């Protein structure tokens, strides 16, 4: 198995631009999670899906952030408009019914200038 796949691996954009991060979970996994990691705030859960349905988005910082999962093999996290404070590493993770064992993708390092 290829593991969780994320793209792009690095993204540099200017303030105000739209950013779309992509994730392909491990085949057969029914839970998908989006996290953000910064030095100041650590690893934060933004939103998670079960069987493509958003279950909890209480971690999404504000309306500029949105996430979708149109099918079992693809999810996106969109930031519009982006701001410098959104600079972070964004991880996607998936799991199969085991809440405690999540498989993380390599992350997308986002820099907003």
Partner 1 sequence: GQSLEQPSEVTAVEGAIVQINCTYQTSGFYGLSWYQQHDGGAPTFLSYNALDGLEETGRFSSFLSRSKGYSYLLLKELQMKDSASYFCAVGDDYKLSFGAGTTVTVRA
Binding site for partner 1 (CB under 8 A): 31, 33, 42-45, 48, 50, 55-56, 91, 93, 99-107
Considering the complex, state which of residue 16 and residue 61 has its C-beta at the smaller distance from partner 1: 61
Q: DSSP letters along 63-83, please?
A: TTEEEEEEETTEEEEEESS--
Q: How far is the CB of 27 from partner 1 (least distance, A)?
A: 18
Q: How far is the CB of 5 from partner 1 (least distance, A)?
A: 12
Considering the complex, state which of residue 64 and residue 109 has its C-beta at the smaller distance from partner 1: 109
For residue 113, whether the previous peptide bond is cis, meaning omega lies within 30 degrees of 0, is no
Q: How far is the CB of 19 from partner 1 (least distance, A)?
A: 20
- Is the sign of the CA dihedral 40, 88, 6, 52 positive or negative? positive
According to DSSP, the β-strands at 108-112 and 10-13 are: parallel
């Amino acid at each position: 198995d290829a593991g969780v796949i994320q793209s792009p691996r690095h993204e540099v954009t200017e303030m105000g631009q739209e950013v779309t991060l992509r994730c392909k979970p491990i085949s057969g996994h029914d839970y998908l999670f989006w996290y953000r990691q910064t030095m100041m705030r650590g690893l934060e859960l933004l939103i998670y899906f079960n069987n493509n349905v958003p279950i909890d988005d209480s971690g999404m910082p504000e309306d500029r952030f949105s996430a979708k999962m149109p099918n079992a093999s693809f999810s996106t996290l969109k930031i519009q408009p982006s701001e410098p404070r959104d600079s972070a590493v964004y991880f996607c993770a998936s799991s199969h019914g085991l809440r405690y064992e999540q498989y993380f993708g390599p992350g997308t390092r986002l820099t907003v200038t």
